[in-house]
Amino acid sequence: MQGIKPIMWFMPVNILVTFLLGSVLGWIIIKITRPPKNIEGLIVGVCSAGNLGNLPIIIIPAICKDKGSPFGDPDVCYQDGISYASLSMALGAIFIWTYVYNIMRISSSKVYIEGNKSSDTITLEASGDDVSESFIEEGSETITQVKGNVDDDAYILLLSKNQSEQKVKVPMLHKMKHQCGMVLSNPNFRGIFSPATLGAIVGFIIGVVPQLRSLMIGSNAPLHVIEDSTSMLGDAAIPTITLIMGANLLKGLKGASTPFWTIIGIIGVRYILLPIFGILIVKGATQLGLVPVDPLYQFILLLQYALPPAMSIGTIAQLFGAGESECSVIMLWTYALASIAVTLWSTYFMWLVS
């Protein structure tokens, strides 16, 4: 990322709007189609999070080298386009692993709690009077044990208090290490700060701080080898993600319990409603002077509304074990139609910004 231009400030706002708008539309789909409870969070996730990184990076070289492109010099177009797409990918990763991750986590936990409650209720009803009698007997025995242990607990508390007065105070450094260890071991913390999010944060730091950028970015930079190595890994990541995507989509061929009209609703949100709202939002922001008259920048902003769901949604679904097969079916149909929908919308967006 060759530094962040001043005109890029609207891109985080635009991406946030796509996530919020997609979440609202996904919630409407849930209310209309009434899918199973275990995939409600998945539906909101696929409607809100688009593939903001890989597809724009693949599309940019093609549109910049096109003879009828409205984006000017091909080299400048490619450099600026990759910069815009990289920022879009970094911001998308942060929003996915903070916003969508927590939505799917909360949804899966609610389904798990409701499932446990229903199973407990069925067990109690099946047990009948036997459960009540055994519960009363066990309760009386527990009360007796508690009464007998009151004196022992009081003695232990007094003994521990006397011992604690003799012990040396724990240093503050050890307390801080213990607290940091508890935070880092928390699965929610590790989920939010995934490798994609950490990579985006490191990229932001290098792109914003001029001293670090001059050390690593550019052919004459002292640590230019870091940029070359990262670029090579990035070039290999795109086909690798494509292979992973193909493997995940293959699961969708086996079928799942995803309602037909739910899939139709998701396709309609991603390829019809969101692009229409995107045109209104970006053009309105341009008229208000919030977005500069830069055709390539406006094209990227519009494209963010017309992309298929992010593949990271499948990873999150596997992480929580909620709607894995349903996610594969949704990804199969959305990506099967992506080649047609993204091509048509890209052509229309290029005409719109020219």
Average pLDDT over residues 333-338: 88
Average pLDDT over residues 110-131: 56
What is the structure's pLDDT at 277? 95
Please report which confidence band the pLDDT of residue 125 belongs to, taking 50, 70 and 90 as the band edges: low
Q: Please state, for a pLDDT cut of 70, what percent of the chain lies above it.
A: 66
Backbone angles phi, psi at 168, to 5 degrees: -75, 145
Average pLDDT over residues 273-300: 90
Residue 326, pLDDT > 60, answer yes
Burial 273-298 (b: 16+ CB within 10 A, else e): bbbebbbebbbebbeeeebeebbbbb
What radius of gyration do the chain's Cα atoms show? Answer: 27
Segment 15-68, tens digit of pLDDT: 999 999 999 999 999 999 988 888 888 999 999 988 876 677 778 878 887 777
Residue 147, pLDDT > 80, answer no
| pTM more than 0.85 | no
For the CA atoms of 211, 6, 295, 280, the dihedral, rounded to the nearest 10 degrees, stands at 140
Mean pLDDT of the chain: 75
**Residue keyed to tokens 């275990």:** 38
Angle at 248 between CA 243 and CA 253, to 5 degrees: 120
Which tokens sit at 155?
A: 């003695």
CA 101/CA 41 separation, integer angstroms: 9
Residue 102, pLDDT > 60, answer yes
Residue 284, pLDDT > 60, answer yes
Of 159 and 170, the structure prediction assigns the larger pLDDT to 170
Could you please report the per-residue DSSP string of 295-345? HHHHHHHHHTTSPPBPTHHHHHHHHHTSSHHHHHHHHHHHHHHHHHHHHHH
- Count of CA atoms in the C-beta half-sphere (13 A) of 241: 18
Q: Please, which residues have CB within 8 angstroms of residue 83's CB and are 6 or more apart in sequence?
A: 1, 2, 5
CA 215/CA 103 separation, integer angstroms: 39
Q: Please, which residues have CB within 8 angstroms of residue 69's CB and are 6 or more apart in sequence?
A: 63, 77, 350
Backbone angles phi, psi at 326, to 5 degrees: -65, -40
- Count of CA atoms in the C-beta half-sphere (13 A) of 320: 27
What is the structure's pLDDT at 202? 77
Residue 92, pLDDT > 60, answer yes
Let me know: does 93 contact 200? Beta carbons within 8 Å: yes
Average pLDDT over residues 126-155: 48
What is the structure's pLDDT at 274? 94
Segment 173-197, tens digit of pLDDT: 666 666 666 655 665 555 556 666 6
Residue 255, pLDDT > 80, answer no
What is the structure's pLDDT at 156? 46
